[in-house]
Each structure stands twice: as structure tokens, then as C-alpha cells.
Amino acid sequence: MSEDGAGAGSPGRAAELAEGLRAVRQRVADAEAAAGRAAGSVLLVVVTKTFPASDVRLLAASGAGDVGESREPEAGLKAAACADLGLRWHQVGQVQTNKAAAVAAWADVVHSVDRPRLVAALERGHRRALEEGARPEGHVLDVLVQVDLADDDERDPGRGGAAPRDVAGLADAVAAAGGLRLAGVMAVAPAGVDPRGPFERLAQVAARVRAQHPGADAVSAGMSGDLEAAVAAGATHVRVGRAVLGARPPIV
């Protein structure tokens, strides 16, 4: 897959994205089968951060329905430019508290809630979005609690995530917030380790959350390099960018 994508919106780029999407869907299907899971039990979120809205349109034409973003204001502008496509938009990156209102105006799912202040900020932002008509009446924002799977002495605050011991309280806070729905948990495997162990720990955390909140059954885990391990451990969502879209354009 070429780095420049053969030119956004070109027939070559359309074919490139269609093939990337097909290949990753096949990987997901193979991983489901290998894990003895039902076909279609894992949702593919295509992460399009830094790629143009024209790529999102090409992906939608190939059947992608769930799109992941992480940076404001890029994400909000791209969602607005593609509002006619009927996509489901996922915020998959860290959210600064002062950007929560902007995220609540376009995201359908936020995968990266890791502190009480962010829960409160998203609740306020979502309420404002409803009042201002940015979201339709009755809209609910799905929220996943991000879990930090690194060992205590190896945690990197820049990567985000709540310590496993703090997840239950954070899940309770999301469940109690107006306009938010606790959907489950999310994690990124620590760099440089076999992801199977961390993803198994995430499955244990997810089970504890479900025991207290039975509807919170989403487990968002796995990216381009480790989606098979995530599916084997019970992931319901995988977040894949590079394997579908190719190398990311330089961030300017």
C-alpha cells in the first residue's frame, strides 16, 4: 500500500482502500473463526485520523460504517463534511477536558474516558449539544472506560487510561451521568510486550464491569498489529488505521 494513497479521491485510491478494508475484514473473520466466535461478532472501527474526508467517503462507498478519529478540530470538521453518509463516529484518542464539549457534538462513541473530570465534562458538553441542536433529541453518547494495562511501575500518563483498581468507580460515574451510556471498556496493549497477557487482563476487568453493569458489554481492543490477539481475548471492537489506509500523512 503506497504512502500517498495514489491521490485522495482517485480511482487508484478507491481501489487501494477497498482492498485494505477487504484484507482487514478477512483478518477479523479469520480471528473470529480461530477463537471459536460467531462470524460478525467483532466490529471494525476504521481509524482515519490525519487522512482526508475524501478517504472517509471512499471507505463508506466500500461499506465501512464505523469511523474513528482522535484530534480536534480535525475530527469535528471531518464529521461535518461527511454528515450525509450516516456513519457512526468514534473518538478513539485521548480527550482533553477542555475539548470534551467539541467531541460530544460529533462523536457517537467515546472510547477513552479515564478520569471523573472527563465524565463530567462530556456530560455537560452533551447536554449543551442537545440544547443547541447539534445532536438530535434523545441522542445518547456511548462511553467506554479506558484501562491502563501497564504494570504500576511502567505506567505512562501520556498514554491515558485508568488503573484497573479505579475502573469500577469510574464506570459507576459514567453510568450515573445524564446523557451518557456506559458501553464497556477499552485498552491499548503496552508497547514492546506480547499483547495476549494484557488483553487477557482486560477481559477480566471487562467481566467485573459487566457484573455490576450488565449492559456494558463492549471491549475495544486491538489495532493493526495485534487485532488477532484482541479477538482471541474477547474484543468486540477493533480499531484499525494503518492496515486499511496505509502509512499516515505527516502531522502538520
For the stretch 105-137, pLDDT in tens is 999 999 999 999 999 999 999 999 999 999 999
**Tally of CA atoms within 13 A in the half-sphere of 2 that contains its CB:** 10
Number of structural domains the chain divides into: 1
Reference 164, options 226, 217, 207; nearest CA is 207
**Integer angstrom CA distances of residue 124 from 171, 173, 174:** 17, 14, 12
**DSSP one-letter code for 237:** E
In a domain, 80, yes or no: yes
Confidence of residue 148 (pLDDT cuts 50, 70, 90): very high
> Is the residue at 101 inside a domain?
yes
Q: Which residues pair with 180 in a beta bridge?
A: 141
Residue 17 lies in a domain: yes
Q: Please say whether the beta carbons of 143 and 120 come within 8 A.
A: no
Closest CA to 221 of 23, 28, 37, 25: 28
Q: Is residue 83 part of a domain?
A: yes
For residues 119 and 113, the answer to whether their CB atoms sit within 8 Å is yes
- Cα four-point dihedral sign 165, 167, 168, 170: positive
Q: Taking Cα atoms as reference points, which of 146, 139, 205, 215 lies closest to residue 183? A: 215
Does 2 fall in a domain?
no
Q: Would the pTM of this model clear 0.85, i.e. be above it?
A: yes
β-strand partners of 143: 110, 182
- Res 199 pLDDT > 60: yes
Instruction: Report if residue 68 sits inside a domain.
Output: yes
Q: What is the SS3 assignment for 114?
A: coil
The answer to whether position 1 is within a domain reads no
Cα 86 → chain centroid: 17
Query: What range does the domain containing 17 cover?
Result: 11-245
Let me know if residue 114 belongs to a domain: yes
Task: Give the domain CATH number at 24.
Answer: 3.20.20.10
Q: Does residue 52 sit in helix, strand or coil?
A: coil
Q: How confident is the model at residue 10 (pLDDT cuts 50, 70, 90)?
A: confident
Q: Could you report the per-residue pLDDT of 155-196, keeping only the tens digit for each?
A: 666 678 999 999 999 999 999 999 999 999 999 999 889 999
